[in-house]
Structure 1
Amino acid sequence: MTIRVLVVDDSNFFCRRVAQILSSDPQIKVIGVANNGQEAIQKVQQLKPDVITLDVEMPVMDGITALKQIMQLQPTKALMLSSLTYEGAKLTLDALDAGAADFMLKSYEGISQSSGQLANLLREKVKEIGLKGKVVATKTATTPVQQPSAPVSNSRGQFKLLAIGASTGGPVAIQKFLTSLPANFSLPITITQHMPGTFTGAFAQRMNSLSKLDVMEAENGVLLKPGKVYIAPGGKQMLIEGTSGHPKIRIKDTDARLQYAPCVDLTYGSAAKVFGRQVLAIVLTGMGADGREGARILKQSGAKVWTQDEASCVVYGMPMSVAKAGFSDNEFSADNLASQVLQVV
């Protein structure tokens, strides 16, 4: 299958380089470019691409306004390109909420190298979204509709930590989950979401404002407390240390050998050491297999691991890797996860 891509950016240089990088992959065909949101809307309707790469900040019409209209007129899988600023992070989160499948950072230096890390990541994301991703055309509901699901075992009181891992599509699934939990939720929650450093702070603030829980970007040495949500800082690794009665967070620099920072496997592995069978881990939507090794360690410790089902994932990669390895105890839709968690904690 050839993935047909429309490139949208107000910079002619950036459009040209993105098109060149994508066209170097035989699975990708760039079918057009646009320099603002209005052009993007017209060309999406005319060309019907499989994927759009869409700049967040543009003149005439910005990427988010364009995306909202595209999702109404011709729902299309979108990869947002964003600047590494706090404001850029907030706008990108708005875009994900409006239906974008994923995002990546804009870098004029990185985009000038066709064989560099950024170019490889761009091709990888477009292929992952184009081949496996789903269009999410509706805004995240803060009160999700509950759906019937498989019964869960009566484990109330067993758990002392809820550990969530996610990548592509994660911010929207996490928002749906957290906004469905009550203010008196009884467990600490750790969230390991693949995301750059500037973005995790903005994401934590967004979740704190939308949910009834106290959500923060995790800091080194902070004690885990019931009803608090700790989001791993981007570019770092988040570990759990101490004892189950006195657990605390350790934030450390990442190892160059690790593909992800933060890494779900590392957080899960450390949680298993401290809490053992008292962990409930949930692996949400995302590309790749981060979380599979951590899930294996958790299962060896007697913990429970749940996964998001394929139908509600933007990319069914991480949950699939866990389920195929036999480490998933239950799988649920994004809409149904919160109600299932509330049955067992």
Structure 2
Amino acid sequence: MMANKKIKVLVVDDSPFMRIVLKDILESQPEITVVGTAKNGVEAIRKIKELQPDIVTLDVEMPEMDGIEVLEIIMKENPLPVIMLSSYTREGAEITLRALELGAVDFIFKPSQIMDIDIESLKENLITKITTLKNSKIIRPDNLIYTNKPKITFSKSSTKNVQYIIAVGASTGGPSALKQFLLPFPKNIPASILIVQHMPPNFTSSLAQRLNSLCEIDVKEGQKGETIKPGCAYIAPGDYHMLLYEQGDNYIIDLNTNEPVHGHRPSVDVLMNSISKLNIKNKIGVIMTGMGRDGSKGLKKIKGKKGYTIAQNEETCVVYGMPKAAVDIGAVDKILPLQEISYDILNYIRETSI
């Protein structure tokens, strides 16, 4: 009987039309039942207690109590998987990133105009995320237990050139995980960090700005033709694959709009494949939380070129998909909790740097 248990969803949206659309989409699937809908945050909090849903879809912008306020109460009183519905705007991106930091597991786009709704695309996206994330863990990286570790710094003479290239791939749960990953890195690290986070354009830009304001290293979106520098992290812009190539002693970013890989553009595999081909001796690959298998083959190529490879462990992943895929094909040297990955890399660099 347990195998046939339906996924109970609560739909929270101030638009009557969107409540109907979302309810119809979800109930077209035999494994899903909408146990209720709510038109505002106050009603949502009450119905979560009454109906005990497995997962909630939550509109970001609502009257009386907005999505962020509702989410904070949910995570404090009754933590459960929440998928945010966000507008495709910079403001929507910034609010959604805040929601992901607070514990929301993922987001989908809510069209701003009724005539803009692509029902089939919305259906595919929503159903995939509901069925995948119904049992996802509520990981709030800010609450992870950190052991007291001394700050690791490097001599200025070691940071004139890029000596290490660190490639990072993340998807669902990635924005919060990336914050925790990047915070320990000192500005004088002799490494450049290149990141693919599965996100659309406005969101990658807002993510880069958000991380840059919090981290000691510089964080920015990568630009075509840009020479990478030590002490800087580059995030692939949404809708562009990001690659690296060599030009003399420099490493240059390239961007393209080739076909998506594993359904993603940017793709982790595309970035890691390009890095595996570079002549630089010190390559490090990291696969973090996310659904799917993007990055597993690219990570294995880095490992095959004597690079050092790490996967985030299951216990600290929102979704243990991408790391598991990498582990399953033998692409990983070490499996670590999120809060230990950066320190492990810093120690590795300190021990192997000239």
SS where residue 134 of structure 2 aligns? helix
* Correspondences of 1:152-191 after superposition (within 5 Å): 160-191=164-195
| Structure 1: gaps spanning 5 or more residues | 149-155
Deviation (angstroms), 1:303: 1.5
Q: Measure the CA separation in 1 of the matches of 2:250 and 2:145.
A: 34
* 1:197 to 1:68, Cα distance in 2 relative to 1, 3 A: same
CA contact (8 A) 2:262 2:293 kept: no
Q: CA RMSD in A?
A: 2.1
Work out the percentage of aligned pairs sharing the same amino acid: 39
Counterpart of 2:195, as a letter, is I
CA contact (8 A) 1:236 1:252 kept: yes
Deviation (angstroms), 1:139: 6.4
Match of residue 34 from structure 1: 38
Give the structure with higher Rg (CA).
Answer: 2
CA contact (8 A) 1:144 1:176 kept: no
CA contact (8 A) 1:240 1:270 kept: yes
TM-score when scaled to structure 1?
0.91
Match of residue 69 from structure 1: 73
Q: Measure the CA separation in 2 of the matches of 1:190 and 1:301.
A: 18
Deviations 1:269-294 (A, max 9, x none): 00111146521010000000001121
* 1:207 to 1:144, Cα distance in 2 relative to 1, 3 A: farther
Is 1:284 aligned to residue 321 of structure 2?
Answer: no
**Please, which of 237, 243, 249 is the counterpart of residue 239 of structure 1?**
243
Deviation (angstroms), 1:296: 2.3
**Please, which of 138, 142, 163 is the counterpart of residue 135 of structure 1?**
138
Deviation (angstroms), 1:111: 4.5
Q: Which has the bigger relative contact order, CA under 8 A and spacing at least 6?
A: 1
SS where residue 142 of structure 2 aligns? coil
SS where residue 278 of structure 2 aligns? helix
* Correspondences of 1:205-216 after superposition (within 5 Å): 205-216=209-220
SS where residue 230 of structure 2 aligns? coil
* Correspondences of 1:1-345 after superposition (within 5 Å): 1-107=5-111, 108-109=114-115, 111=117, 113=119, 116-131=120-135, 133-136=136-139, 138=140, 140=142, 145-146=146-147, 160-243=164-247, 245-255=249-259, 259-275=263-279, 278-345=282-349
CA contact (8 A) 2:186 2:231 kept: no
* Alignment length (residue pairs): 333
Deviation (angstroms), 1:336: 1.1
Deviation (angstroms), 1:340: 0.9
Deviation (angstroms), 1:140: 2.6
Deviation (angstroms), 1:112: 5.3
Match of residue 153 from structure 2: none
* 1:109 to 1:316, Cα distance in 2 relative to 1, 3 A: farther
TM-score when scaled to structure 2?
0.89
